[in-house]
Amino acid sequence: MKTFNQDWLKNALSLYFIMGSVNTKKKPSIVLEEAVQGGVTCFQFREKGTGALAGPEKYALAEELKFICQKAGIPFIVNDDIELALALHADGVHIGQEDEPVRIVREKVGDKILGVSVHNFMEAQSALQVGADYFGVGPIYPTNSKADAKEVQGVKIIRDLRSEGFTIPIVGIGGITANNAGEVIKAGADGVSVISAISLEESPKIAAEKLREGIAI
Ligand SMILES: Cc1ncc(COP(=O)(O)OP(=O)(O)O)c(N)n1
Ligand SMILES: Cc1nc(C(=O)O)sc1CCOP(=O)(O)O
Ligand SMILES: [Mg+2]
Question: Structural domain boundaries of the chain?
Answer: 6-215
Q: Can you say whether residue 73 is alpha, beta or left, with left for phi > 0 and alpha for psi between -120 and 50 degrees?
A: left
CATH topology for 6-215 is TIM Barrel (3.20.20)
The proportion of the chain whose per-residue pLDDT surpasses 70, expressed as a percent, equals 100
Instruction: Give the ligand whose atoms come closest to the C-alpha of residue 189.
Output: 1
pLDDT of residue 7: 97
* Strand 191-194 versus strand 76-79 pairing type: unpaired
Phi, psi torsion values for 216, nearest 5 degrees: -85, 70
pTM: 0.98
Which residue type occupies 162? R
pLDDT above 90 for 21: yes
The model's pLDDT over 147-195, given as tens digits with 9 standing for 90+, comes to 999 999 999 999 999 999 999 999 999 999 999 999 999 999 999 999 9
Neighbours of 48 (CB within 10 A): 18
Q: Which residues line ligand 1 (CB under 6 A)?
A: 16, 18, 44, 46, 48, 79-80, 94-96, 99, 115, 117, 136, 138, 146, 171, 173, 193
What mean pLDDT is predicted for residues 195-205?
98
Of all residues in the chain, the percent with pLDDT exceeding 90 is: 98
Cα–Cα distance, 194 to 172 (Å, whole number): 9
pLDDT for 59 equals: 98
User: Please, what is the average pLDDT of the chain?
Assistant: 98
- Does 142 sit behind a cis peptide bond, omega within 30 degrees of 0 on the bond before it? no
- Over range 12-29, report the average pLDDT: 98
Q: Which residues are annotated as a binding site for Mg(2+)?
A: 80, 99
pLDDT, mean of residues 105-122: 98
Q: How many CB atoms lie within 10 A of CB 217?
A: 10
Q: Which of 119, 143, 179, 210 to mutate to test the pocket of ligand 2 (most atoms within 8 A of CB)?
A: 143
* Confidence (pLDDT) at 34: 98
Q: What is the pLDDT of residue 1?
A: 84
Distance of alpha carbon 4 from its chain centroid, rounded?
Answer: 17
Helix (H) / strand (E) element for 4: namely none
Which amino acids bring their CB within 6 angstroms of ligand 2? 18, 117, 136, 138-139, 143, 145-146, 149, 173-176, 194-197
> Left (φ > 0), alpha (ψ -120 to 50) or beta: where does 157 sit?
alpha
Torsion sign (Cα): 189, 71, 78, 202: positive
| Gap between the Cα atoms of 198 and 23, Å rounded | 10
Q: In this structure, are residues 134 and 123 in contact, taking their beta carbons and an 8 Å threshold?
A: no
**Average of pLDDT values for 108-117?**
98
Q: Are 151 and 189 in contact (CB under 8 A)?
A: no
**Residues 38/207, Cβ–Cβ less than 8 Å:** yes
217 pLDDT more than 80: no
Question: Which sequence positions are flagged as catalytic?
Answer: 46, 117, 146
Q: Are 171 and 134 in contact (CB under 8 A)?
A: yes
